[in-house]
Amino acid sequence: MSSNLCKIPVGISSCLLGEQVRFDGGHKNNSYIVQTLGQYFDFRPFCPEVSIGLGIPREPIRLVEQSGKIRCIGTKDTTLDVTAKLTECADEQRSWQHSLCGYILKKDSPSCGMERVKVYRNDQPQKSGVGLYAQQMMRNFPHLPVEEEGRLGDPVLRENFIQRVFIFQRWKQLLSQEAGVSAITEFHARHKLILMSHDQNHYRRLGQMVSTISQWEINEFCRRYLTSLMSILKIPATRKNHVNVLQHIQGYLKRDLDKEDKKELNETIEQYRKGLLPLIVPITLFRHHFRKCPNEYIENSYYMNPHPAELMLLNPL
C-alpha cells in the first residue's frame, strides 16, 4: 500500500514498534507486527508510562492488591502510586482513540497488559490482572478489537483479531456514510457466513434482529447490532463451524458441478474436517468453481475474502 490514507488506524504499545520506552530504556520490537501488519495498519503508538511522566529509564511498576483494591505502585519505592494517573491517562486519549479500528497491547505490562498480568498479594504473584491503562481504554471502547502481541503467535487468535479489525473498519465506514436500512442489511448479508463460522446460535439470533430492522429507531438498532456483532466475532471460529459453512456454500453449486467435481469438493471438505488440509484449500477450490459458475451472494460474501490474501491468515487454519 502506497499511502497511510489506505491503511487502517490501529493503536499500539510504543515498545512493540521498536521505540525505546521500556523501564530499562529498551524496546520489544515485533517484526511480524512491524513488517507484515504494518503494510495494512497505520499504527498509532502510545506509551502510557512515559505519558504520565515516569521517564526513561525508570523504576519498574507492578500491580498490587491492597485492601481488596488493585493499585499500581513502584517495585522499590512503594510510595510511588500511579493508579489514578494511568486510568486518567486512558481517559485523556479518547479523542484520538475514537478513530481506531483496533489496538495491540504489550503482554504482561501493569499498564498495557490485556489479561493475566501479575497481581501481587502478600508478595505472591498471581496472573489475574489487567493493565490499568488497558483496562480503562477497553471500558471506554468496549467494541474495539484488542489483542496482545504474544497471543498473535497463535494462528486462530491472530486471524480472529485481524478479521475483527477489518470488519470493524467496514462498519465504521458504513456509519460515516449515514447508511440506511438497505445498506445495513447488505452489510449483514455480506458477513453472514463469517458470523456462522463463529457461532451459529448467535448468528441466527442476530439474523432475526436484522429481519425486524424496520421496527427500530435506526441509531438504537446500530448500537445493539454492533454489540452483538463484535461479541460473536470475538468467539474464535471452529473447524466444525467452518465445515458447516463450507457445506452451506456447496449448496450453491449443486446444479452446476458434475459428479467428479462434487466428489473432489466433498473429499476436500472432509480432509479439512480431519485436519489434513488448511482452510485455504477448500476456499480456493470454491473460488475456482464460482469463477466458472458465478453467484452474486457468494461473490459479495466476505467469507471467501475476509482480509488481504497476502496476510496468509487462512493457510495455518
Domain range list for the chain: 4-153, 164-233, 239-311
- Phi, psi dihedrals of residue 223, rounded to the nearest 5°: -65, -45
CA distance 199 to 71: 37
- Of the candidates 112, 79, 101, the one whose C-alpha atom is nearest the C-alpha of residue 233 is 101
Q: What is the pLDDT of residue 218?
A: 93
Q: What is the pLDDT of residue 123?
A: 87
Q: What is the pLDDT of residue 2?
A: 37
pLDDT along the chain (317 residues), means of 10: 70 96 91 95 98 95 95 95 98 97 97 97 94 98 97 96 97 91 96 97 97 95 97 96 97 94 97 97 96 95 92 91
Element (H, E) at 50: helix 48-51
| Cell, residue 100 | 481506531
Q: Which long-range contacts (CB under 8 A, 24 or more apart) does 69-74 make?
A: 70/119, 70/129, 70/132, 72/110, 72/111, 72/132
Q: What is the pLDDT of residue 220?
A: 96
DSSP3 helix / strand / coil % (the chain, rounded to 5): 55, 15, 35
Q: Is the dihedral of CA 66, 70, 74, 79 positive or negative?
A: negative
Q: What is the pLDDT of residue 179?
A: 79
Q: What is the pLDDT of residue 5?
A: 53
To the question of pTM greater than 0.85 for the whole model, the response is yes
Q: What is the pLDDT of residue 178?
A: 81
